[in-house]
Amino acid sequence: MPFSHYVFDAYGTLFDVHAAVRRHVAEMGPESQFFSDLWRAKQLEYSWVRTLMGAYQDFWALTEQALDHTFARVPSADRSLRQKLLDAYWTLDCYPEVPNVLRSLKASGARIAILSNGSPAMLASAVRSAALDDIIDDVFSVDAIGRFKTDPGVYDLVTTQWRLYPDAVSFQSSNRWDVAGATKFGFRTVWINRANMPDEYFDLKPTLILPDLNGLSGS
């Protein structure tokens, strides 16, 4: 069944969350991959815990806090790189296939949006840096409701704004937990399994699993 409304998670799906550390890998040293993985893991952990507590802070604040925790956990990392890493996070590289796939979907007449934990400023910067601003029709940030994914209210931002039933939306994310939340909400979901991870959340299966965005336009 062809879809005319495609919604994409941003970080890890369109934009490479490890690009910031990779740009400074020579300065970071041998623990650079562990550093990047931990930074990302804590960033997400903070989003889930703060939603459960009802103590919202925007994603940029959590990104900074997660980075500071990571420096504390990895003493070999040069703390003087802190600002460079934060600056790099505003202009993360998009994955190579992203522009062409999104342009193809757009050319087919589809509406394209981002639905992300990111703050509006972070997302605007990432979209502009990747030259996707002429493709993306709408950018939905959790800032609008003060709760992070997988709160159902996040996914409802799309259906309310677009005045659609959930099953009219194709939602793509590289995060399996995000796909589970979107599936529970009623979206048609596509797991972009870039890391070739084993499946989980077996009661909330995606409609489709792809290694990257290629092939999405024909799905």
Q: Find the catalytic residue in 9, 93, 143, 178.
A: 9
Contact indicator for 76, 29 with CB cutoff of 8 Å: yes
Q: What share of the chain is helix, strand, coil (3-state, %, to 5)?
A: 50, 15, 40
151 in catalytic set: no
The DSSP-derived string for 59-102 is: HHHHHHHHHHHHHHH-TTS-GGGHHHHHHHHTTPPBPTTHHHHH
Distance CA 171, CA 155 (A): 10
| Active site positions, annotated | 9
